[in-house]
Amino acid sequence: MGKPTGFKEVARKVEPYRDAAVRMLDFKEIYTPHDATHLQSQGSRCMDCGVPFCQSTNGCPIHNLIPEWNDLVYHGRWRDALDRLHKTNNFPEFTGRVCPAPCEGACVLGITDPAVTIKNIEMAIIDRGFAEGWVIPVPPVNRTGKSVAVIGSGPAGLSAAAQLNSAGHHVTVYERADRLGGLLMYGIPNMKLEKSVIDRRIDLLRAEGVTFVVNADVGGKDVNGVAVQTLIANNDAVLLATGATLARDLNIPGREGPGVHLAMEFLTANTKSYLDSGHADGQYISAKDKDVIVIGGGDTGTDCIGTSLRHGCRSLVNFELMPQAPAGRSDNNPWPLWPKIHRVDYGHAEAASRFGDDPRVFQIASKSFIRDDAGQLRGVITVNVDQQLKEIPGSEKTWPADLVFLSMGFLQPEHYINESLGLETDPRGNFVANKSDYRTSVAKVYAAADCRRGQDLVVRAINEGREAAREIDRDLMGHTQLP
């Protein structure tokens, strides 16, 4: 620790987003340029903790060496900080942008004071690394002759591919979409994660020897279908990293028909059209001049809000079933657990800038969608609920709506891959694979991240991809040196 009194002398100050009124006019990233001097000062706030809980299971699932690179940044040793960061995290440019930072929730300083700005510093380290040309391809010196197929190019698939390739195995990643990145590419809008950031990292993986195949729907029956049995026969191991992409629906009266969409339908089409043509092709669901309702919160709901605002929606409301979280930790939510507190994300701030108020309405349940005689969506009927989520009589209300986006989380992986294999699933529909070895009930087939454990954070997907790679390497070689 470079400055023992830093946390006493320097107040927490995060790097700001671009002005809400300005950033709503485009799909460029919401972040402002990094200020090295400011971040060095913030790095000085990292305490000499006896036990750095930021690195614990509650803090960082990939066990980033956070105090070490905070101290290195404070001393201006950015290149060394990058090396420390890459020891545990294959893709800090992803986590630095989209991770909710459980490390900050577990920061020891956070017991009494605002936590260290860990996420800002992480993002700045990797962005500087690319800007300075420090991040270069490092192909393996020797090849093992073993081959592994990775199904899915999201954070778990990519991190597993990177690790397995570094061990010398021949790795091929199969992605059913036309672009690589999984939900990083099409599930997270461009203003939160610029797609060139993903492409840049994939170009590095290619240069290191990883092979990528797009438009390859493993287990699918259409023209892009690839037989999973063929991959098993032609490889020494197959890793399923398909994600939990089966979304929770809202089966209430009026659901069928135009105007009601799952959030991923909206976000995927928007990003694809933006990347293909800058929206000139019109192949997306436009919210322009529409009354929009987003049902469900979380990051995906916020992304629907931000995207609708950039289209130029007429009005916007966000329904949340649960009560509003408290401003500070409640007694049953102690440190170092993730703080379940009320937060204002980028989309909420943008909606307030545009319409004058936060768009969220809490403790509200949707009862039915209203459609006219032609079947067009006209509104949503709701009822308020109490703290126990019981409906409050007489609280019914009708809200105008031309578009409704359902953002209520994901249930489980899609099952056409495991059905053809006879793969065992758990009561929640996830692929059964022990975290100790990531093996499924089918020989040579492994599963990691959301398809194994359910919907979770990008950083946990990276962790499971790395751990699965280690266990696959151990099984193939009889030993492993992967972390």
Query: Mean pLDDT across the chain, nearest whole number?
Result: 96
Q: Which amino acid is at 22?
A: V
Is pLDDT at 420 greater than 90 in this prediction? no
Structural domains present in the chain = 6-131 (1.10.1060.10), 147-245+411-477 (3.50.50.60), 249-408 (3.50.50.60)
Is pLDDT at 2 greater than 80 in this prediction? no
pLDDT at 1: 64
Q: Which amino acid is at 122?
A: E
Q: Tell me the torsion sign for CA atoms 97, 102, 105, 107.
A: negative
Is pLDDT at 197 greater than 70 in this prediction? yes
Q: What is the mean pLDDT of residues 41-68?
A: 93
First to last CA, the chain: 25
How buried is residue 58: exposed, middle or buried, by Cβ count under 10 Å (0-12/13-18/19+)? middle
Q: Which of the four pLDDT bands, split at 50, 70 and 90, describes residue 104?
A: very high
pLDDT at 3: 85
Long-range residue pairs from 480-483, CB within 8 A, at least 24 positions apart, any chain: 480/167, 481/167, 482/163, 482/166, 482/167, 483/87, 483/88
Q: Tell me the torsion sign for CA atoms 46, 201, 269, 313.
A: positive
Spatial contact of 253 and 368, defined as CB atoms under 8 Å apart:
yes
Query: Has this prediction a pTM greater than 0.75?
Result: yes
Q: Which of the four pLDDT bands, split at 50, 70 and 90, describes residue 224?
A: confident
pLDDT at 222: 86
Q: Which of the four pLDDT bands, split at 50, 70 and 90, describes residue 223?
A: confident
* Tokens 């699918």 sit on residue: 220
Runs of H (alpha helix) within 356-457: 416-421, 450-453
Q: What is the mean pLDDT of residues 416-438?
A: 94
For the stretch 255-280, pLDDT in tens is 999 999 999 999 999 999 999 999 99
Residue 234 is encoded by which pair of tokens?
């032609």
Is pLDDT at 159 greater than 80 in this prediction? yes
For the stretch 345-401, pLDDT in tens is 999 999 999 999 999 999 999 999 999 999 999 999 999 999 999 999 999 999 999
Pairing verdict, β 410-412 and 246-247 = antiparallel
